[in-house]
Amino acid sequence: MAKPKTTQTKPSAVPQPGSRPSIRVDATMSDDLAVIMRAGGNATDAVRTAVAQLADMYRTAWAHGVVPDGTAPHLLAFQMGQMPTGAPAPISRYDALSDRPSVPRVGRRIDGPLGAQRRTP
């Protein structure tokens, strides 16, 4: 009787610098690349950016012990910020100090329906 074939997955070799790995682009990956490329650049730039961000997430998770080394972390949340443009920060009147003296809030009577309910005859 013939033995059933057992397939063992071989660890993938890490591409060496200067090599040109090829990947098959399916419809989902094409859509994802299109989204990244809307920010500028070509497909190569998009793949490099995505790989760098994912690798940074893995390194951070492993360094902080979130998951064991070599285990893929599961991203639960992220925080985004706008890239600095070198332009001066927007100025608003609300950013400046007031030229009016502040009114203490303690001991002030609050007018309105809630204030009226608190008054005792």
Least confident interval from 4-18, 42-56, 74-88, 91-105: 91-105
Residue 50 included in any domain: yes
Residue 9 included in any domain: no
> What pLDDT, on the 0 to 100 scale, is given for residue 110?
55
How much is the average pLDDT of 12-32? 91
> If DSSP states are collapsed to H, E and C, what string results for 10-33?
CCCCCCCCCCCCCCCCCHHHHHHH
Residue 49 included in any domain: yes
> What pLDDT, on the 0 to 100 scale, is given for residue 115?
47
Residue 80 included in any domain: no
Count the helices and strands in the chain (H runs, E runs): 3, 0
Stated pTM of the model: 0.56
Residue 36 included in any domain: yes
Question: Which residues constitute the domain of residue 49?
Answer: 24-71
Above 80 in pLDDT, residue 69? yes
Dig out the tokens for 29 from the structure: 């990956």
Residue 81 included in any domain: no
The total of structural domains in the chain comes to: 1
How much is the average pLDDT of 13-32? 91
> What pLDDT, on the 0 to 100 scale, is given for residue 78?
81
Residue 11: C-alpha distances to residues 8, 14, 23, 68, 115 (Å): 9, 9, 17, 18, 71
Residue 2 included in any domain: no
Highest mean predicted confidence (pLDDT) among 50-54, 88-92, 117-121: 50-54
Do the beta carbons of residue 109 and residue 115 sit within 8 Å?
yes
Residue 32 included in any domain: yes
Percentage of the chain lying above the pLDDT 70 cut: 62
